[in-house]
């Protein structure tokens, strides 16, 4: 099982205590309908650490929003518990949980000013007027809304409305801040700007935050750790770099960015390393924990390799070259079958001598642009670093 209890790394030299703020224990959620029973969450175990920005990532229908709603108290689990600072809150209603939710829709009161929208929750909680004024003033400053306090929501841009919605959640000083795809209604440019703003504000305030999205770039850019979900299960939990560079399953490798999928045969395995036959040669690759007890010698393994790790150079005689390992990399020959220029990079499709297709990404600089690359139909020599090859399972085993 993926380790979901390792503390997040220290980022930007800021200290992050490894204290568990929220614990999810064996949470299952089944929905009954006329069409039958649907198990939205199967057996979720997860620790969320104090002060971290944790993103729950996955495709539509994977269970991420259901998990978020259970954390908020809007849904009750069929089985299992949610703990906050060690106390069980599974049956505590949403209004009695020290949490705040930022929704996809801003849900601002159209007849109230920015100031009054932000102050609304404090007024309901009967906070003294002087304290309300002080707290609203602080969050207006943090959110860069000082000059907009007297405006109505209809007089604001989408990004400004999003900041007001966040300010309204932050001003009540929640123990945990929950985000339900809050940037999905913004255009691409504003979404990029707002994700930086959200991360800056979260770091400044130090609030434990759980963010749900299906956008891989958003998750990679904002998170201390990412929880990748599929079909009601947790596939992997790790830092953005761990998720990208060390995927445990083919699903994770394929869902996060792009990956070349290379079939290989296990020649020998010992511990978490295996000798595999790949492209006509034998080399040693790392084996993740989930694969350590699967299969045996002669079994098929699946290796993944990121396109940016593939180096390519012109080569005149692909048919005369045999694959070999040199300086920690596999050298194989083939032909350039497709070249797609996308501005900052060119995406190349290589066909190796044995018919295997390999994707390659070449990033450009002013000194090395697309004109320096081979042309479609040219012979090429591809270099695949052995250290960049990652053995994966097709699906994580879930107990």
- The 10s digit of each residue's pLDDT in 126-162 is 999 999 999 999 989 888 889 999 999 999 988 888 8
Which of 213, 228, 251 is a domain's end point? Answer: 251
Chain position carrying tokens 């085993």: 397
Residue 44: predicted pLDDT: 96
Residue 205: predicted pLDDT: 87
| pLDDT of 12 strictly over 70 | no
Residue 222: predicted pLDDT: 93
Question: Is residue 279 located within the same domain as residue 381?
Answer: yes
List the one residue out of 361, 384, 191 whose CA is nearest residue 285.
384
DSSP category for residue 86: T
Residue 194: predicted pLDDT: 82
% pLDDT > 70, the chain: 91
Q: How confident is the model at residue 296 (pLDDT cuts 50, 70, 90)?
A: low
DSSP string covering 290-348, please? GGTTS--TT-EEEEEE-GGG-EEEE-S-GGG---EEETTEEEEEEEEEEEEE-SSEEEE
Residue 396: predicted pLDDT: 58
Residue 268: predicted pLDDT: 81
DSSP category for residue 97: S
Q: Within a domain: residue 8?
A: no
List the one residue out of 165, 185, 194 whose CA is nearest residue 177.
165
Q: Within a domain: residue 348?
A: yes
Residue 8: predicted pLDDT: 47
The rounded distance, in Å, linking the Cα atoms of 151 and 378 is 62
Which has more pLDDT, 230 or 323?
230
Here the CATH number for the domain that contains residue 314 is: 2.40.50.140
Residue 256: predicted pLDDT: 92
Residue 197: predicted pLDDT: 83
DSSP category for residue 7: P
CB-based contact 236:289 (threshold 8 Å): no
Over the chain, what is the mean pLDDT?
A: 88
Which has more pLDDT, 90 or 17?
90
| pLDDT of 3 strictly over 50 | no
Mean pLDDT of 19-42: 93
Mean pLDDT of 351-370: 90
Question: Is residue 112 located within the same domain as residue 175?
Answer: yes
Least confident interval from 45-49, 136-140, 267-271, 272-276: 267-271
Question: Is residue 267 located within the same domain as residue 237?
Answer: no
| pLDDT of 276 strictly over 60 | yes
Q: How many residues does this entry show for the chain?
A: 399
Here the CATH number for the domain that contains residue 238 is: 3.40.50.300
Q: Within a domain: residue 89?
A: yes
Mean pLDDT of 35-58: 94
Q: How confident is the model at residue 200 (pLDDT cuts 50, 70, 90)?
A: confident
Q: Within a domain: residue 128?
A: yes
| pLDDT of 31 strictly over 50 | yes
Question: Is residue 117 located within the same domain as residue 137?
Answer: yes
Question: Is residue 186 located within the same domain as residue 293?
Answer: no
Which of 230, 251, 272 is a domain's end point? Answer: 251
Question: Is residue 265 located within the same domain as residue 233?
Answer: no
Mean pLDDT of 108-137: 92
Which range of 138-142, 194-198, 334-338, 374-378 scores highest in mean pLDDT? It is 334-338
Q: Within a domain: residue 10?
A: no
Which of 228, 251, 274 is a domain's end point? Answer: 251
Q: How confident is the model at residue 395 (pLDDT cuts 50, 70, 90)?
A: low
DSSP category for residue 149: T
| Structural domains counted in the chain | 2
| pLDDT of 291 strictly over 70 | no
Chain position carrying tokens 């079939």: 263
CA 318 to chain centre: 39
Residue 9: predicted pLDDT: 46
243: enclosing H helix or E strand: helix 240-245
Residue 398: predicted pLDDT: 59
Q: Which domain holds residue 89?
A: 20-251
Look at residue 232 and give its three-state secondary structure.
Answer: coil
Q: Within a domain: residue 75?
A: yes
Mean pLDDT of 318-333: 90
The rounded distance, in Å, linking the Cα atoms of 236 and 243 is 7
pTM summary value: 0.86
Question: Is residue 247 located within the same domain as residue 266?
Answer: no
Query: Computed from CA positions of residues 190, 196, 200, 201, in that sequence, does the dihedral angle turn out positive or negative?
Result: positive
Residue 10: predicted pLDDT: 41
Question: Is residue 68 located within the same domain as residue 164?
Answer: yes
Task: Give me Rg for the CA atoms of the chain.
Answer: 25
Q: Within a domain: residue 12?
A: no
Q: Within a domain: residue 3?
A: no
Question: Is residue 222 located within the same domain as residue 291?
Answer: no
Query: Computed from CA positions of residues 238, 240, 242, 246, in that sequence, does the dihedral angle turn out positive or negative?
Result: positive
DSSP string covering 34-78, please? TTEEEEEEEEEEEEEETT-EEEEE--TTSSHHHHHHHHHTSS--S
Beta bridge partners of 358: 350
Mean pLDDT of 239-261: 92
Which has more pLDDT, 174 or 291?
174
Q: How confident is the model at residue 1 (pLDDT cuts 50, 70, 90)?
A: very low
Question: Is residue 32 located within the same domain as residue 156?
Answer: yes
The strand pair at 53-57 and 225-230 is best described as parallel
| pLDDT of 397 strictly over 70 | no
Question: Is residue 24 located within the same domain as residue 164?
Answer: yes
Question: Is residue 175 located within the same domain as residue 35?
Answer: yes
Q: How confident is the model at residue 295 (pLDDT cuts 50, 70, 90)?
A: very low
Residue 370: predicted pLDDT: 84
């Amino acid at each position: 099982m993926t380790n979901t209890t390792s503390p997040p790394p220290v980022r930007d030299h800021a200290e992050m205590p490894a204290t568990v703020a929220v614990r999810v224990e064996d949470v299952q959620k089944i929905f009954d309908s006329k069409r039958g029973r649907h198990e939205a969450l199967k057996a979720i175990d997860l620790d969320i650490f104090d002060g971290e920005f944790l993103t729950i990532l996955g495709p539509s229908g994977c269970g991420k929003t259901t998990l978020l709603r259970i954390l908020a108290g809007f849904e009750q689990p069929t089985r299992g518990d949610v703990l906050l600072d060690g106390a069980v809150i599974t049956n505590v209603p949403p209004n009695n949980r020290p949490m705040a939710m930022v929704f996809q829709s801003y849900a601002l009161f159209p007849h109230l000013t920015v100031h009054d929208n932000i102050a609304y929750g404090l007024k309901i909680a009967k906070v003294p007027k002087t304290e309300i004024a002080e707290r609203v003033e602080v969050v207006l400053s943090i959110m860069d809304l000082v000059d907009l306090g007297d405006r109505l929501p209809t007089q604001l841009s989408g990004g400004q409305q999003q900041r007001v919605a966040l300010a309204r959640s932050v001003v009540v000083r929640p123990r945990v801040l929950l985000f339900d795809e809050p940037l999905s209604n913004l255009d691409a440019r504003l979404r990029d700007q707002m994700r930086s703003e959200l991360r800056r504000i979260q770091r400044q305030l130090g609030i434990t935050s759980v963010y749900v999205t299906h956008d891989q770039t958003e998750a990679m850019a904002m998170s201390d750790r990412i929880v990748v979900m599929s079909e009601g299960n947790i596939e992997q939990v790790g830092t953005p770099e761990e998720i990208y560079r060390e995927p445990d399953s083919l699903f994770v490798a394929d869902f996060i960015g792009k990956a070349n999928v290379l079939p290989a045969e296990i020649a020998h395995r010992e511990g978490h390393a295996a000798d595999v036959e790949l492209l006509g040669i034998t080399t040693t690759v790392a084996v993740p924990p989930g694969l350590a007890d699967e299969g045996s010698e002669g079994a098929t393994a699946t290796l993944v390799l990121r396109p940016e790790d593939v180096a390519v150079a012109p080569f005149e005689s692909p048919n005369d070259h045999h694959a070999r390992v040199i300086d920690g990399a596999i050298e194989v020959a083939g032909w350039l079958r497709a070249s797609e220029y996308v501005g900052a990079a060119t995406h190349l499709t290589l066909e190796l001598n044995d018919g295997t297709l390999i994707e390659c990404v070449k990033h450009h600089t002013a000194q090395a642009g697309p004109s320096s690359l081979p042309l479609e139909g040219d012979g090429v020599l591809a270099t695949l670093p052995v250290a960049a090859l990652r053995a994966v399972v097709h699906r994580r085993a879930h107990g």
